């Protein structure tokens, strides 16, 4: 039996613009999904999800085309949880076969998932479950993959489940940890100081596909919307430089400039129509409380904001902000995927 964990993430800069080839900087955060995998004596897949911000449920599932889960919860909940686990297990079997130079092993697993990353809220919950699942399942079969290979396998799993609508950002960031620069298929870790993230969650989630399509329409219709997307890319390029300087000299005032760039980035995302009343209220509450900067993170429309504040002021202010369901502090996760017990 092996338990592996992997972190969620926030976007410091660059969501949406990354879809059009601009760079983005996601950062892993110390909120983890933990996946425990134990090999079965048959070839079935049994999944227990404890705390996925869904009600706890257990699914017994054979994993073949006609093997529908035999439980009494809505199909979409089952699909959400099962799709990623199923795809992760397939990738794990395939990776083991590749290493051993033989056919994929027809082994089954008991899988249990516990996650403290809110679901579908722009914090990379599905990527974290997929990454941790691949690591735990391959280790259970006696194979250890590099974090880069896990990132690639997890990307392929998400790509299948999300029907081609996945970028490499979430899975790479979750597998490697730290701050990451993503531009197209080029993903790499970059230096960053320990950033004082505070996250506000409105309890909801945006529809990523619709929000991405909305930005695409605006960009096709108006030159100034295309310029806005490019301007986000300029913010990211400036932000990378500031991050590198701040990593070298954490005592400098560079964190203030990072905050200013986050504010600017949020303004441009707002102009592109992907913010919401609750996200804007949380951003303004953070700024009023003295945060160095604040912006929405991820697709938008609802979900989470991220602010930078070393003090408790922003977290306290967010807790009293109408529209904010919960607020919490999250450190930059320097560890990506890791084994918790085996």
**Residues found near ligand PMV in the complex (CB under 6 A):** 15-16, 18-19, 122, 124, 167, 169-170, 208, 212, 298-299
Choosing from 170, 202, 263, 309, the catalytic residue is: 170
Measured from the CB of residue 327, what is the shortest distance to ligand PMV in angstroms? 18
Cα 238 to chain centroid distance, Å, stands at 23
Closest Cα partner for 308 from 327, 293, 329, 330? Answer: 293
Q: How many CB atoms lie within 10 A of CB 250?
A: 11
Q: What is the 3-state secondary structure (H, E, C) of 93-122?
A: HHHHHHHHCCCCCCCCEEEEEEECCCCCCC
Nearer to ligand PMV, 5 or 167 (CB): 167
What is the residue whose two structure tokens read 């990523």? 208
CB 191 → ligand PMV: shortest distance, Å? 23
Contacts of 312 (CB under 8 A, 6+ apart): none
Least spacing, CB of residue 14 vs ligand PMV, in Å: 8
For residue 55, indicate whether it is catalytic: no
* Among 168, 55, 33, CA closest to 111: 33
Tell me how far apart the alpha carbons of residues 62 and 42 are, in angstroms, rounded to a whole number: 10
Smallest gap from Cβ 253 to ligand PMV, in A, equals 29
Query: Which ranges of 104-195 does DSSP label H, i.e. alpha helix?
Result: 125-140, 147-161, 169-176
User: 31 near 330, Cβ under 8 Å?
Assistant: yes
Indicate the residue among 45 and 198 with the shorter CB distance to ligand PMV.
198
Cβ-based nearer residue to ligand PMV, 45 or 269:
269
Smaller CB separation from ligand PMV, 119 or 339: 119
Q: Which is nearer to ligand PMV, 142 or 164 (CB)?
A: 164
Residue with smallest beta-carbon separation from ligand PMV: 298
Minimum distance, C-beta of residue 124 to ligand PMV, in the bound complex (Å)? 6
Q: β-pairing, 197-201 with 304-308?
A: antiparallel
Catalytic sites, residue numbers: 170
């Amino acid at each position: 039996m092996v338990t592996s964990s992997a972190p969620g993430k926030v976007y410091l800069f660059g969501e949406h613009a990354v879809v059009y080839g601009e760079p983005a900087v996601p950062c892993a955060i110390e909120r983890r999904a933990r996946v425990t995998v134990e090999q079965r004596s048959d070839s079935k897949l049994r999944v227990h999800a404890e705390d996925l911000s869904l009600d706890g449920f257990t699914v017994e599932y054979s994993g073949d085309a006609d093997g529908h889960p035999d439980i009494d919860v809505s199909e979409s909940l089952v699909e959400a949880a099962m799709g990623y686990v199923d795809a992760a297990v397939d990738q794990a079997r395939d990776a083991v076969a590749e290493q051993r130079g033989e056919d994929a092993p027809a082994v089954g697993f008991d899988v249990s998932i516990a996650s403290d990353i809110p679901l579908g809220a722009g914090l990379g919950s599905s990527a974290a479950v997929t990454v941790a699942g691949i690591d735990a399942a391959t280790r259970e079969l006696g194979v250890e993959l590099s974090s880069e290979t896990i990132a690639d396998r997890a990307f392929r799993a998400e790509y299948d489940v999300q029907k081609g609508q996945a970028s490499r950002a979430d899975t790479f960031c979750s597998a490697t940890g730290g701050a990451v620069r993503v531009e197209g298929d080029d993903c790499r870790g970059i230096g960053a100081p320990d950033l004082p993230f505070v996250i506000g969650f409105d309890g909801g989630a945006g529809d990523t596909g619709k929000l991405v399509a909305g930005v695409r329409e605006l960009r096709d219709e108006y030159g100034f919307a295309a310029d806005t997307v490019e301007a986000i890319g300029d913010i990211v390029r400036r932000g990378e430089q500031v991050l590198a300087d701040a990593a070298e000299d954490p005592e400098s005032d560079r964190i203030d400039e990072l905050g200013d760039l986050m504010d600017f980035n949020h303004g441009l995302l707002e102009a592109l129509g992907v913010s919401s009343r609750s996200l804007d209220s949380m951003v303004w509450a953070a700024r009023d409380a003295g945060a160095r900067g604040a912006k929405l993170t991820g697709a938008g429309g609802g979900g989470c904001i991220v602010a930078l504040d070393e003090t408790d002021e922003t977290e306290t202010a967010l807790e009293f902000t109408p529209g904010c369901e919960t607020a919490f502090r999250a450190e930059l996760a320097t560890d990506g995927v890791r084994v918790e017990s085996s």
